[in-house]
Amino acid sequence: MKKTNNSDKGILYVVSGPSGAGKSSIISMLLERCSSLEFSVSYTTRKRREGEQNGKDYFFVTKEEFEDMRRRGEFLEWAEVHGNFYGTSKRFVNEGLKEGKQLLLDIDVQGAMNVKKLFPEGIYIFITPPSLEALKARLIKRGTESDAQIARRLKDAKWELSHIKEFDYIVMNEDLDTAVEDIYIIVRAEGLKVHRNMDKIRKALGYDI
Ligand code: 5GP
């Protein structure tokens, strides 16, 4: 039986996990190392944090703008996370995958589960903190959230952790470099899967297999 050839299809990586687990730091280091990956910049109604750039970290929009986009069906998925709205561009993902690109999404667990329904062939990576205490300490140290917001994010984290089994890989962020290395290895290994490389193999052999 001839195996299917998916090498022209692109790969969707979805990275998820509790807020404060270190996703953003891991992802920005990974993107520097893996030039083949393209980050999906989400839309959010959250206020811009110091150091964040519009169009790079997020597209910062008003609630009205977000609602208009949602009504026009421009989001692949959207969610209310910790009291703010976040959404993934449908066009960016659909067109990127059609063009054979490797896309990386940083979204919350409910978003990841919704994307999985649309793209079950995607690669779902859960980033977890070493413990809930460590997560709390990180959120306090980051200093970008109020006490009430921290309490809310910790409560949400417990719910998010309860969905770990629906993911393909788990990366425990005890040490940042190791966590980046772990995801790098996942990306390398996924890219080497036979079904993604059938064209390459045929070209190398000079005949069809
Ligand atoms: P933060 O406000 O700390 O940047 O992000 C809060 C949470 O929202 C994180 O868990 C992040 O992964 C998630 N998030 C960011 N963009 C999106 C998105 O487009 N969709 C969903 N569902 N979650 C998102």
Give the span between the Cα atoms of 129 and 17, in whole angstroms. Answer: 9
pLDDT of amino acid 31: 97
Q: Which 8-state DSSP code applies to residue 144?
A: -
pLDDT of amino acid 8: 52
Q: What are the extents of the domains in the chain?
A: 11-40+100-205
pLDDT tens digits for range 86-110:
999 999 999 999 999 999 999 999 9
pLDDT tens digits for range 49-99:
999 999 999 999 999 999 999 999 999 999 998 889 999 999 999 999 999
pLDDT tens digits for range 7-25:
458 999 999 998 888 999 9
Give the span between the Cα atoms of 95 and 172, in whole angstroms. Answer: 32
Return the H-helix or E-strand segment holding 180: helix 176-191
pLDDT of amino acid 165: 96
Q: Which of 14, 42, 48, 128 to mutate to test the pocket of ligand 1 (most atoms within 8 A of CB)?
A: 42
Instruction: Determine the length of the chain.
Output: 209
pLDDT of amino acid 9: 82
Asked if the model's pLDDT at residue 2 lies above 70, the reply is no
Rounded distance from Cα 113 to ligand 1 centre (Å): 13
pLDDT of amino acid 83: 87
pLDDT tens digits for range 160-198:
999 999 999 999 999 999 999 999 999 999 999 999 999
What would the two tokens of residue 30 be? 């990974």
* Residue nearest to ligand 1 atom 3, measured at CA: 19
Give the span between the Cα atoms of 146 and 137, in whole angstroms. Answer: 13
pLDDT of amino acid 143: 85
Asked if the model's pLDDT at residue 28 lies above 90, the reply is yes
Model pTM score:
0.91
Which of ligand 1's atoms lies nearest the C-alpha of 16?
12
- Our measurement of the distance from residue 116's CA atom to the centroid of its chain's CA atoms, rounded to an integer in Å, reads 12
Sign, Cα dihedral of 118, 125, 184, 3:
negative
C-alpha closest to that of 180 among 33, 5, 7, 11: 33
Q: Which residue type, as a one-letter code, is found at position 61?
A: V
Give the span between the Cα atoms of 105 and 150, in whole angstroms. Answer: 23
Q: Which residue type, as a one-letter code, is found at position 93?
A: V
pLDDT of amino acid 15: 98
Rounded distance from Cα 87 to ligand 1 centre (Å): 8
pLDDT of amino acid 1: 37
pLDDT mean over 125-150: 90
Q: Are the CB atoms for 106 and 58 separated by under 8 Å? A: no
Give the span between the Cα atoms of 175 and 168, in whole angstroms. Answer: 21
Asked if the model's pLDDT at residue 126 lies above 70, the reply is yes
CATH 3.40.50.2300 fits 11-40+100-205, yes or no: no
